[in-house]
Amino acid sequence: MVKGKNKQKVSYESQMKRPSTGKRVQRKQKQHKLRRLFLKTICITFIIALLLAVGAFAAFRYYTKDLKRETIDESALNVSTENQKQSTEMKIKNVAVFGVDSRNGDDTGNSDAIMIVSVDGNRGKVKMISIARDTYVNIPKYGRTKITHAYSYGGAELAMATLNENFGLDITDYITVNFEQLADIIEEMGGIDVELSETERVELNKYVPFGAEKVQQSGFVHLNGEQAVSYSRIRQIDSDDMRTSRQRKVMQCLFEKRAEISPLQYPSYIKKFMSMMETSLTDTEMLQMIPVAMNKNLILEQDSFPNDYIQVAGERVVTEVEGVRLWVYRYDLEEAAQMIHQFIYDDITFAQQKNSETMVE
């Protein structure tokens, strides 16, 4: 793609000093959190799928035959060889998870949700780091623009290369799920049960797609896939804390569904889940993750960029690639890469890293 001719010089230091306030920044942050919900739900669902696979180990290859596979040219991924060596030694597998918003059923377009998932075999942990779609990065062979555009320009391969180059990672595999499939996944898990106030019920129904069933009563109710997604989108009736609380409830309900599934249903669930995903992971690689997923004490940890522990500026810039003015998040990518490295390999959360810096000062 030809780079745009128009560029705008932006004082990075001055923008970094400006607080990320204002209605636009808040709206972008809310949108980002909703996309994080989607990716977290997909990741948890994928873990559940791996758990279910144990019950049908012998038939695993048969039931994953509907899984869309893609072969990746690893030489084009800008992999950090140092991190790759460390991952091998520590039994850590880093995978990119993309949520695409394609309305025609295929997995193309921008990656509206981006997550780095780290499966830690030694510690029995799964760590999830979401990257805001508006993060301003360099896309290899294209130039600087929003990270979300990498997927539309070169698919998962270029999107992984972009993550590796900007955050110093060793990602060689990915999972992609279409946003349309989130409601299907929740539906296949049997929906969720929540305590719903009358105010929430009325607001929820505003988000239910045209033609889908609306919720008729408040109290302790059962929500189907479409209703559960709508429930997670409620944002106008109370605080942002309450909205994120609803999002966590959706994830918790899905994770708890494991105990309700009969072993006789395992093959059917595996087949349904796998048909909703596209990946470069082989059967062998997925099966190697099962011991971590089976750990009854499995720990899920998550964070994101931007966050409260790194300076960030929300601004409009003329991008190098498109040559148009777009709203982006700008923060120190080298600092972010260091934070991610400590989180994945040293097992130090972003909050702990910040507290440590404060104590030194």
Pairing of strands 277-279, 68-69: parallel
pLDDT tens readout for residues 127-181:
888 888 889 999 999 999 999 999 999 999 999 999 999 999 999 999 987 766 7
Per-residue pLDDT, 343: 97
For residue 183, what are its two tokens?
């409601």
| Contact between 301 and 127 (Cβ < 8 Å) | yes
pLDDT range class, residue 210, cuts 50, 70, 90: confident
Does residue 2 carry a pLDDT above 50?
Answer: no
Does residue 273 carry a pLDDT above 70?
Answer: yes
Nearest C-alpha neighbor of 99 from the set 89, 88, 110: 110
Cis before 19 (ω within 30): no
| Contact between 214 and 205 (Cβ < 8 Å) | yes
pLDDT tens readout for residues 98-118:
877 654 555 567 777 788 999
Does residue 17 carry a pLDDT above 50?
Answer: no
Does residue 47 carry a pLDDT above 90?
Answer: no
Least confident of 25-34, 122-131, 231-240, 351-360: 25-34
Per-residue pLDDT, 257: 73
Q: Above pLDDT 90, what percent of the chain? A: 39
Per-residue pLDDT, 336: 97
pLDDT tens readout for residues 166-195:
999 999 999 987 766 777 878 888 898 999
pTM summary value: 0.73
